[in-house]
Structure 1
Amino acid sequence: MAPTHQENSKSSRRWWVWLLLLLMAGGAIAVVGWYQLFREEPQRFDSVEAYYLYGSIGAEQEEGIPYWIWRVLPEVFPQHLPGEEGYASLGMLWEEDEATPAGFSKKTIGFPRIAINCAACHTASYRTSEDAERQIVPTGPHQTFDPQAYLTFLGNAANDPDFTAATLLPAIEAEIDLSWLDRLLYRFLIIPRTRDGLQEQAARFTWTDERPRWGPGRIDPFNPVKFHPDLLALDPAEDDTIGNSDIMPLWAMDEQQGFALHWDGLNDSLTEVVLSGAIGDGARPDSLPVDDLADLEAYLLTKRPPPYPFLDDLDAELAAEGEALFQQTCAGCHGLEGARIGTVIPQPEVGTDPHRLAMWTAEAAERYNAYAEEYPWDFNAFVKTDGYVAKPLTGIWLRAPYLHNGSVPTLEDLLQPAGQRPERFYRGYDVYHPERLGFIHDGESAERHGFLYDTTEPGNSNQGHDGAAFGTQLDDDDKAALIEYLKTL
């Protein structure tokens, strides 16, 4: 017997009710999924400097690590760290009452995530004695953080058989109460995906195994960008270059407007340097906080380094003699009115290690200039150069070790002929040596806290910046006067 019209209507209504319920359920699941995994909560800071130290540069979406997993990794995997102080054993600087070290941003995108920002490398520290309070200097060059050791720790932890929900969840729940839904997400999605992502990252950096270690206060800044499959996509199997470089200060950038930037002058636009730096740290074109980074750029223009901390002991008369020597010997390249300040000095002339120059190629510059062309801030100023930039010496006392690869521990050593400079020394210890204008780099404490730097390894040469034009032939009294003046810059 065929169904009646009334029965058909009831059946149709039931069908529509079920469809509506399914749509509502699907919508609810989608909303919950978006909230738990993708909602983005804005960060708020009291100052641009606080943003510099702890704000997002857009790296959390692609390169961020779930914060609570990151938080417990040193506790769960201490065997993969170089010391017993957790992340501090990697040289991170952690201010009291902060959720992250300086240079790490905590941001909620669905769930709390952590990623590095510019301050991870560009924040200096120093102590006037071993028991003195550590001073943290935003925009200075980091002496203690070892970014390669950090990457190695993350990779080793992710490849450990205990990187599982069964191991990590109890450690996380000892730190924070998770909801039942959060526990499910961490167990079946977030922890497995984090493990996979960190393993993929470790695999991307296997090319570093064939090159000298970076060590604290140094990084190979552009090979990671060249070899990243989503960025410049050059092949590390066809490229054995070494770009290991000392980390640069970012203060007083108003003094460098129009100058060639980076160690080798590969770009003269501070805007492009800031944006490309964020991309190098893990941001992508559609995640860059362009307006925030413009505020950061303005901050870098006017931020100044701290004064030399031992000025009370300065010999003013000797410093005046040193200023005259500076004008005669150094100002042409390093004085703010010097004819060559901010220009690229050809490598054969300055004589310093050439490996950094081989790392940056014309092809890399071309690919970077073509990157993200559809965006209004696209890159145009990347170039290939043949030397190193003559930099202003503002805050030079806090920029040790010296030369572009950090191969000379003190200014006293830099004024010696290259053959008399230390062949091996420890870097990464932030207790200052005021007489030598650099950090303590030998002895038991430096050995215990530092990294052994060997100038005979490729990319680590301490040669160059030598001869009459560079002050190494001055007599000892003149060198002492010049050093006394450099303390005042």
Structure 2
Amino acid sequence: MSTVYRNLTCTAVIASSLWGCGADPAPLEFVNGLDPAHPGYAGQERFLTDTWDTELLDEWPPAEFMLALMEDEPEVFGEQFAAFGFIPDPARDLPVGLARGVKDPERIHETCALCHVQRLDDGLWLGVPNTGLDIGRFRVEVNRRWVAAGHAPLMTELQETKALALGPGRTNAESSGYPDVVPADFPPYFELGQRQYLNYMGTGQDVRTEIHFAVFSFGAGSPNEETAKVPFPDEARIAPFIEFLGGLAPPPAPSQDAGEVARGRAVFEAERCGACHHLDDVSLDAVVTLDTSTTGVERLPGEDPALPNGSIRTSRAHRILQDGDGGGEGSGTDVGLGDLIAFIIGRGLAVRRTDGYRANTLRGLWATAPYLHNGSVPTLEALLTRPEDRPTRWMRGDFEVDTSRFGSSNEGHTFGTTLEAADKAALAAFLRSL
């Protein structure tokens, strides 16, 4: 069932001129959206519109300035920033994923929908990563206009450099002060309620924990709940979001050749792909341990090598969980780690330290290219190619992905790369049918 995105007031004169607000434009519809009478609808509204009060962090210019950009430079910022991959919303003066704050309506911030709504052939889908959104380049361009208008910069030079190195569909998995870019693709939000390992490293054990980590990474309650500029939202505000996000299903796959799909399923079973990717019960999908030997061969769950340096760090919260942030250097106590541990204990979160990466669900895989955690492999066919033969430079929109850059390696997941060409084609067809 499709549903509408609540028609928030279209107040800006600029939006009226662009969209004709006086004509009461139709609100957006989502293919997998919930009816207002559905118990999860309140959570959907959180997903779409809640900034979690992080507008108070002053990470963006005021809403008035953002709206003026559309009018002053329509060739760059027009139609609600569409050139940067934003999804316009004709019923509002801001695109999907940008919203005014409740505590400060004059300021804006991202919502979860910014990175996790995508337009597919049949319409807009909630939970599908927006692989075309170049949020890094957008932030840099906005910051430069803000500075040119005589204001203090909202980004450091290092932050600008790192943002421009990301490209579409990716965020930086390391903190803003870390010198290198560690790109991570926006993840899909499919079947989260059925999983026992969440995020790339599998450290979160349930949806509630993962949502708390996500909101914490937005900046709410960070670094210390008692002193934070933005208090962490109470449980009543979080609870509807948990119900909604845990129930999102992937979009149905486009039609594939039935015979090829059947042959691909046979290859999938013969190659034991189901040892990591459990099609019938994603709760069984485990954490795949990383290989520390010199063979370069990935290992199945249970072989348990030690976690090597340089492994995936999925967010500021998870980085601190693994390594601490160095805030207590010389004192014997890591302040960042202590704050996070206090947050985890105080909120009763389900967290487990892991030594690898989570096996991803395969349902909806067709809609989430490019692949690997950093978006370094453009297609399923490339993923089934030996790492040394995969594309090393390719275009993601107007951005060139260079897999020789730090954090953008296209190595890994060597499973299926030695198959015959016909078997690879059949396996790809099967995977696209899920």
Q: Residue 86 and residue 94 in structure 1: after superposition, are their counterparts in 2 closer, same or farther (change >3 A)?
A: closer
1:400 aligns with 2:369: yes
Letter in structure 1 aligned against 2:380: L
1:51 aligns with 2:46: yes
User: Contact 2:116–2:129 (CA<8 Å) still a contact in 1?
Assistant: yes
Q: How does 1:56-95 map to 2 (within 5 A)?
A: 56-63=51-58, 65-76=61-72, 81=76, 87-95=81-89
1:139 aligns with 2:91: no
2:258 pairs with one of 316, 328, 344? 316
Letter in structure 1 aligned against 2:167: G
Alpha-carbon distance in structure 1 between the residues aligned to 2:143 and 2:242: 32
1:282 aligns with 2:282: no
Q: Residue 387 and residue 212 in structure 1: after superposition, are their counterparts in 2 closer, same or farther (change >3 A)?
A: farther
1:72-116: CA deviations, max 9, x gaps? 12434669x5x7666111111113323321222223435433210
User: Contact 1:215–1:451 (CA<8 Å) still a contact in 2?
Assistant: yes
Q: Residue 145 and residue 338 in structure 1: after superposition, are their counterparts in 2 closer, same or farther (change >3 A)?
A: closer
Residue in 2 that maps onto 1:373: 342
Residue in 2 that maps onto 1:245: 184
**How many residues are paired up?**
358
User: Contact 1:427–1:452 (CA<8 Å) still a contact in 2?
Assistant: yes
Q: Residue 154 and residue 373 in structure 1: after superposition, are their counterparts in 2 closer, same or farther (change >3 A)?
A: same
Alpha-carbon distance in structure 2 between the residues aligned to 1:383 and 1:363: 15
Alpha-carbon distance in structure 2 between the residues aligned to 1:211 and 1:71: 22
Q: Residue 300 and residue 210 in structure 1: after superposition, are their counterparts in 2 closer, same or farther (change >3 A)?
A: closer
Residue in 2 that maps onto 1:106: 100
Deviation, 1:210, is: 6.1
2:161 pairs with one of 209, 215, 239? 209
Letter in structure 1 aligned against 2:216: I
Secondary structure of the residue aligned to 1:245 is strand
Deviation, 1:487, is: 2.0
Detail structure 1 runs of 4+ shifted over 6 Å in the superposition. none
Secondary structure of the residue aligned to 1:464 is coil
User: Contact 1:344–1:385 (CA<8 Å) still a contact in 2?
Assistant: no
TM-score w.r.t. the length of structure 1 is: 0.65
Alpha-carbon distance in structure 2 between the residues aligned to 1:373 and 1:158: 37
1:409 aligns with 2:357: no
Which has a greater percent of helix?
1
1:53-83: CA deviations, max 9, x gaps? 223322222246432222112434669x5x7
Q: Residue 69 and residue 84 in structure 1: after superposition, are their counterparts in 2 closer, same or farther (change >3 A)?
A: closer
Q: Residue 89 and residue 157 in structure 1: after superposition, are their counterparts in 2 closer, same or farther (change >3 A)?
A: same
Q: Could you say what the CA RMSD is over the residues aligned between the two structures, in angstroms? A: 3.2
User: Contact 1:400–1:409 (CA<8 Å) still a contact in 2?
Assistant: yes
Alpha-carbon distance in structure 1 between the residues aligned to 2:358 and 2:139: 29
Alpha-carbon distance in structure 2 between the residues aligned to 1:374 and 1:144: 34
Residue in 2 that maps onto 1:332: 275
Which runs of no fewer than 5 residues in structure 1 stay unpaired?
1-44, 128-132, 164-194, 225-235, 429-449
User: Contact 2:88–2:95 (CA<8 Å) still a contact in 1?
Assistant: yes
Deviation, 1:382, is: 5.3
Residue in 2 that maps onto 1:465: 413
Secondary structure of the residue aligned to 1:334 is coil
Q: Residue 254 and residue 403 in structure 1: after superposition, are their counterparts in 2 closer, same or farther (change >3 A)?
A: same
Which moves more between the two structures, 409-418 or 339-348? 339-348
User: Contact 1:322–1:483 (CA<8 Å) still a contact in 2?
Assistant: yes
Q: Residue 56 and residue 210 in structure 1: after superposition, are their counterparts in 2 closer, same or farther (change >3 A)?
A: closer
Letter in structure 2 aligned against 1:267: G
1:112-150: CA deviations, max 9, x gaps? 3321011211222334xxxxx7x3221111111112112
Q: Which has the larger radius of gyration?
A: 1
Which moves more between the two structures, 322-331 or 341-350? 341-350
Deviation, 1:390, is: 1.2
Deviation, 1:304, is: 0.8
1:117 aligns with 2:111: yes
1:391-431: CA deviations, max 9, x gaps? 22121111100011101111111111122221211114xxx
User: Contact 2:263–2:427 (CA<8 Å) still a contact in 1?
Assistant: yes
Letter in structure 1 aligned against 2:409: S
Residue in 2 that maps onto 1:186: none
2:395 pairs with one of 411, 414, 426? 426
Secondary structure of the residue aligned to 1:112 is coil
Alpha-carbon distance in structure 1 between the residues aligned to 2:406 and 2:104: 44
Q: Residue 275 and residue 242 in structure 1: after superposition, are their counterparts in 2 closer, same or farther (change >3 A)?
A: same
Residue in 2 that maps onto 1:157: 145
User: Contact 1:369–1:381 (CA<8 Å) still a contact in 2?
Assistant: no
Q: Residue 292 and residue 414 in structure 1: after superposition, are their counterparts in 2 closer, same or farther (change >3 A)?
A: same
Percent identity between matched residues is: 26
Residue in 1 that maps onto 2:21: none
Residue in 1 that maps onto 2:32: none
1:344 pairs with one of 288, 295, 302? 288
Residue in 1 that maps onto 2:207: 270
Q: Residue 382 and residue 75 in structure 1: after superposition, are their counterparts in 2 closer, same or farther (change >3 A)?
A: farther
User: Contact 1:347–1:386 (CA<8 Å) still a contact in 2?
Assistant: no
